[in-house]
A and B are shown apart, each in its own frame.
Chain A
Amino acid sequence: MPDLAAKKKRPLWYNLNPLKLPVPGLVSILHRASGALLLLGLVWFLFLLDMSLASEAGFARFRGYVGHPLVKVFLLGFLWAYLHHFCAGIRYLFLDIDKGVSLGAARASSYAVLAVSLTLTALLGMGLW
Protein backbone atom coordinates (compact mmCIF):
# COMPACT_ATOMS: atom_id res chain seq x y z
CA MET A 1 0.00 0.00 0.00
CA PRO A 2 1.50 3.38 -0.94
CA ASP A 3 2.52 5.57 1.95
CA LEU A 4 0.69 8.87 1.43
CA ALA A 5 3.09 10.89 3.60
CA ALA A 6 6.08 9.65 1.62
CA LYS A 7 4.23 10.27 -1.62
CA LYS A 8 3.60 13.91 -0.67
CA LYS A 9 7.30 14.49 -0.06
CA ARG A 10 8.28 13.59 -3.62
CA PRO A 11 10.37 16.34 -5.15
CA LEU A 12 8.40 18.64 -7.40
CA TRP A 13 10.07 20.46 -10.26
CA TYR A 14 8.19 23.67 -10.91
CA ASN A 15 11.03 25.53 -12.59
CA LEU A 16 10.03 25.36 -16.24
CA ASN A 17 12.91 27.52 -17.53
CA PRO A 18 15.17 24.60 -18.54
CA LEU A 19 12.40 23.39 -20.85
CA LYS A 20 12.58 24.73 -24.37
CA LEU A 21 9.29 26.20 -25.58
CA PRO A 22 8.32 24.31 -28.75
CA VAL A 23 7.49 26.37 -31.85
CA PRO A 24 3.73 25.66 -31.65
CA GLY A 25 3.93 26.96 -28.07
CA LEU A 26 5.63 30.13 -29.26
CA VAL A 27 2.92 30.64 -31.91
CA SER A 28 0.28 30.04 -29.24
CA ILE A 29 1.58 32.57 -26.70
CA LEU A 30 2.17 35.13 -29.48
CA HIS A 31 -1.43 34.54 -30.62
CA ARG A 32 -2.63 35.41 -27.13
CA ALA A 33 -0.25 38.37 -26.73
CA SER A 34 -1.13 39.79 -30.15
CA GLY A 35 -4.84 39.39 -29.41
CA ALA A 36 -4.48 41.29 -26.14
CA LEU A 37 -2.45 43.99 -27.90
CA LEU A 38 -5.09 44.35 -30.64
CA LEU A 39 -7.86 44.72 -28.03
CA LEU A 40 -5.87 47.47 -26.29
CA GLY A 41 -5.32 49.15 -29.67
CA LEU A 42 -8.97 48.87 -30.72
CA VAL A 43 -9.91 52.22 -29.18
CA TRP A 44 -7.15 53.89 -31.22
CA PHE A 45 -8.25 52.20 -34.49
CA LEU A 46 -11.83 53.36 -33.92
CA PHE A 47 -10.52 56.86 -33.22
CA LEU A 48 -8.54 56.83 -36.50
CA LEU A 49 -11.48 55.45 -38.54
CA ASP A 50 -13.82 58.01 -37.00
CA MET A 51 -11.43 60.86 -37.74
CA SER A 52 -10.78 59.78 -41.34
CA LEU A 53 -14.49 59.53 -42.20
CA ALA A 54 -15.78 62.52 -40.21
CA SER A 55 -14.96 65.35 -42.60
CA GLU A 56 -12.56 66.67 -45.21
CA ALA A 57 -10.53 68.37 -42.45
CA GLY A 58 -10.60 65.21 -40.34
CA PHE A 59 -9.30 63.20 -43.29
CA ALA A 60 -6.46 65.67 -43.77
CA ARG A 61 -5.65 65.47 -40.05
CA PHE A 62 -5.76 61.65 -40.31
CA ARG A 63 -3.33 61.69 -43.25
CA GLY A 64 -0.93 63.95 -41.36
CA TYR A 65 -1.27 61.88 -38.18
CA VAL A 66 -0.55 58.47 -39.75
CA GLY A 67 2.31 60.08 -41.69
CA HIS A 68 4.21 60.73 -38.49
CA PRO A 69 7.20 58.31 -38.19
CA LEU A 70 6.43 57.40 -34.56
CA VAL A 71 2.80 56.64 -35.43
CA LYS A 72 4.04 54.55 -38.36
CA VAL A 73 6.22 52.47 -36.03
CA PHE A 74 3.18 51.79 -33.81
CA LEU A 75 1.05 50.95 -36.85
CA LEU A 76 3.75 48.55 -38.05
CA GLY A 77 3.68 46.81 -34.67
CA PHE A 78 -0.09 46.50 -34.82
CA LEU A 79 0.16 45.29 -38.43
CA TRP A 80 2.39 42.44 -37.29
CA ALA A 81 0.04 41.69 -34.37
CA TYR A 82 -2.93 41.54 -36.76
CA LEU A 83 -1.14 39.36 -39.33
CA HIS A 84 0.19 36.95 -36.71
CA HIS A 85 -3.23 36.70 -35.06
CA PHE A 86 -4.81 36.20 -38.50
CA CYS A 87 -2.39 33.46 -39.66
CA ALA A 88 -2.25 31.64 -36.33
CA GLY A 89 -6.06 31.90 -36.10
CA ILE A 90 -6.48 30.18 -39.47
CA ARG A 91 -4.08 27.47 -38.26
CA TYR A 92 -6.24 26.94 -35.16
CA LEU A 93 -9.40 26.73 -37.26
CA PHE A 94 -7.80 23.85 -39.19
CA LEU A 95 -6.59 22.20 -35.97
CA ASP A 96 -10.18 22.48 -34.65
CA ILE A 97 -11.41 20.35 -37.55
CA ASP A 98 -8.56 17.87 -36.97
CA LYS A 99 -6.46 18.94 -39.93
CA GLY A 100 -2.68 19.06 -39.48
CA VAL A 101 -2.62 17.70 -35.93
CA SER A 102 0.33 15.32 -36.40
CA LEU A 103 3.58 16.48 -34.79
CA GLY A 104 5.35 17.13 -38.08
CA ALA A 105 2.45 19.00 -39.65
CA ALA A 106 1.82 21.07 -36.50
CA ARG A 107 5.47 22.09 -36.35
CA ALA A 108 5.64 22.92 -40.05
CA SER A 109 2.45 25.03 -39.90
CA SER A 110 3.83 26.87 -36.84
CA TYR A 111 6.96 27.83 -38.73
CA ALA A 112 4.76 28.83 -41.68
CA VAL A 113 2.64 31.11 -39.45
CA LEU A 114 5.74 32.89 -38.11
CA ALA A 115 7.32 33.20 -41.55
CA VAL A 116 4.18 34.32 -43.43
CA SER A 117 3.16 36.92 -40.85
CA LEU A 118 6.66 38.40 -40.61
CA THR A 119 7.10 38.44 -44.41
CA LEU A 120 3.69 40.06 -44.98
CA THR A 121 4.45 42.64 -42.27
CA ALA A 122 7.74 43.49 -44.01
CA LEU A 123 6.14 43.67 -47.48
CA LEU A 124 3.03 45.62 -46.45
CA GLY A 125 5.11 47.77 -44.12
CA MET A 126 7.48 48.71 -46.93
CA GLY A 127 4.56 49.40 -49.25
CA LEU A 128 2.74 51.61 -46.73
CA TRP A 129 5.80 53.44 -45.41
Chain B
Amino acid sequence: MVERTIVGAHYGLSGWLAQRITAVVMALATLVIVGGIWSASPLTYAIWKSLFAKWWMWLSISLFLLSVMLHAWVGVRDILMDYIKPTAIRLTLEVVFLLALAYYTIWAMQILWRI
Protein backbone atom coordinates (compact mmCIF):
# COMPACT_ATOMS: atom_id res chain seq x y z
CA MET B 1 0.00 0.00 0.00
CA VAL B 2 1.24 3.41 -0.92
CA GLU B 3 1.13 5.93 1.89
CA ARG B 4 0.53 9.36 0.53
CA THR B 5 -0.43 12.58 2.20
CA ILE B 6 -2.48 14.67 -0.11
CA VAL B 7 -2.60 18.25 1.02
CA GLY B 8 -4.21 19.77 -2.00
CA ALA B 9 -5.50 18.73 -5.39
CA HIS B 10 -4.89 21.83 -7.41
CA TYR B 11 -1.23 21.30 -8.32
CA GLY B 12 -0.63 22.23 -11.91
CA LEU B 13 -4.19 23.36 -12.49
CA SER B 14 -3.29 27.07 -12.62
CA GLY B 15 -0.52 26.35 -15.14
CA TRP B 16 -2.81 24.16 -17.21
CA LEU B 17 -5.51 26.84 -17.21
CA ALA B 18 -3.02 29.64 -17.98
CA GLN B 19 -1.75 27.67 -20.97
CA ARG B 20 -5.30 27.36 -22.37
CA ILE B 21 -6.26 30.99 -21.73
CA THR B 22 -3.05 32.30 -23.30
CA ALA B 23 -3.64 29.93 -26.25
CA VAL B 24 -7.05 31.48 -26.94
CA VAL B 25 -5.63 35.01 -26.55
CA MET B 26 -2.80 34.25 -28.99
CA ALA B 27 -5.11 32.57 -31.51
CA LEU B 28 -7.35 35.66 -31.62
CA ALA B 29 -4.37 38.05 -31.64
CA THR B 30 -2.82 36.09 -34.53
CA LEU B 31 -5.89 36.73 -36.69
CA VAL B 32 -5.81 40.49 -35.91
CA ILE B 33 -2.05 40.77 -36.52
CA VAL B 34 -2.12 38.78 -39.77
CA GLY B 35 -5.11 40.81 -40.96
CA GLY B 36 -3.29 44.04 -40.08
CA ILE B 37 -0.11 43.08 -41.93
CA TRP B 38 -2.20 41.83 -44.86
CA SER B 39 -3.91 45.22 -45.21
CA ALA B 40 -0.66 47.21 -44.97
CA SER B 41 0.75 47.98 -48.37
CA PRO B 42 3.09 49.07 -49.79
CA LEU B 43 5.34 47.81 -47.00
CA THR B 44 7.50 50.83 -46.22
CA TYR B 45 8.99 51.72 -42.84
CA ALA B 46 6.48 54.53 -42.28
CA ILE B 47 3.50 52.28 -42.98
CA TRP B 48 5.00 49.38 -40.96
CA LYS B 49 5.61 51.63 -37.95
CA SER B 50 2.21 53.33 -38.10
CA LEU B 51 0.56 49.89 -38.39
CA PHE B 52 2.09 48.82 -35.07
CA ALA B 53 1.07 52.14 -33.53
CA LYS B 54 -2.63 51.52 -34.23
CA TRP B 55 -4.28 50.74 -30.89
CA TRP B 56 -5.77 47.36 -31.94
CA MET B 57 -2.48 46.21 -33.45
CA TRP B 58 -0.48 47.42 -30.44
CA LEU B 59 -2.90 45.76 -28.02
CA SER B 60 -2.89 42.48 -29.99
CA ILE B 61 0.88 42.28 -30.25
CA SER B 62 1.31 43.21 -26.57
CA LEU B 63 -1.17 40.56 -25.42
CA PHE B 64 0.43 38.07 -27.81
CA LEU B 65 3.96 38.64 -26.55
CA LEU B 66 2.97 38.52 -22.87
CA SER B 67 0.89 35.38 -23.49
CA VAL B 68 3.64 33.62 -25.41
CA MET B 69 6.05 33.97 -22.46
CA LEU B 70 3.62 32.39 -19.98
CA HIS B 71 2.47 29.76 -22.51
CA ALA B 72 6.04 28.79 -23.37
CA TRP B 73 6.99 28.53 -19.71
CA VAL B 74 4.19 26.02 -18.98
CA GLY B 75 5.09 24.09 -22.15
CA VAL B 76 8.84 23.93 -21.60
CA ARG B 77 8.30 22.97 -17.96
CA ASP B 78 6.14 20.03 -19.11
CA ILE B 79 8.81 18.93 -21.59
CA LEU B 80 11.61 19.16 -19.00
CA MET B 81 9.53 17.23 -16.43
CA ASP B 82 8.92 14.46 -18.97
CA TYR B 83 12.40 13.96 -20.37
CA ILE B 84 14.99 15.28 -17.92
CA LYS B 85 14.96 12.95 -14.93
CA PRO B 86 18.04 14.07 -12.91
CA THR B 87 16.71 16.79 -10.62
CA ALA B 88 19.83 18.97 -10.70
CA ILE B 89 19.93 19.15 -14.50
CA ARG B 90 16.17 19.70 -14.75
CA LEU B 91 16.18 22.52 -12.20
CA THR B 92 19.17 24.14 -13.91
CA LEU B 93 17.42 24.04 -17.29
CA GLU B 94 14.20 25.37 -15.73
CA VAL B 95 16.10 28.33 -14.31
CA VAL B 96 17.81 28.93 -17.68
CA PHE B 97 14.48 29.00 -19.54
CA LEU B 98 12.78 31.06 -16.83
CA LEU B 99 15.56 33.68 -16.95
CA ALA B 100 15.48 33.68 -20.77
CA LEU B 101 11.71 34.20 -20.81
CA ALA B 102 11.98 36.95 -18.19
CA TYR B 103 14.61 38.65 -20.35
CA TYR B 104 12.44 38.24 -23.48
CA THR B 105 9.50 39.81 -21.63
CA ILE B 106 11.54 42.90 -20.75
CA TRP B 107 12.90 43.05 -24.30
CA ALA B 108 9.37 42.74 -25.75
CA MET B 109 8.16 45.56 -23.49
CA GLN B 110 11.07 47.70 -24.63
CA ILE B 111 10.13 47.11 -28.28
CA LEU B 112 6.48 47.91 -27.54
CA TRP B 113 7.17 51.09 -25.52
CA ARG B 114 9.33 52.44 -28.33
CA ILE B 115 6.59 52.18 -30.96
Contacts and interface: CB of A to CB of B under 8 A. Distances in A.
Interface of A: 32, 35-36, 38-39, 42-43, 46, 49-50, 52-56, 59-60, 63, 86, 89-90, 93, 96
Contacts of B24: 93
B23 A89 contact: yes
Contact of B45 (A43, A56, A89, A90): A56
Main secondary structure of the interface of B (DSSP, over half): helix
Contacts of A35: 72, 75, 79
B68 A53 contact: no
Nearest to B82: A32
Contacts of B27: 86, 89-90
B63 to A, nearest CB: 15
B56 interface: no
Given A36-B75, A89-B27, 13 more contacts: A35-B75, A36-B79, A38-B72, A39-B75, A39-B76, A39-B97, A42-B68, A42-B104, A43-B100, A43-B104, A46-B107, A50-B111, A55-B45
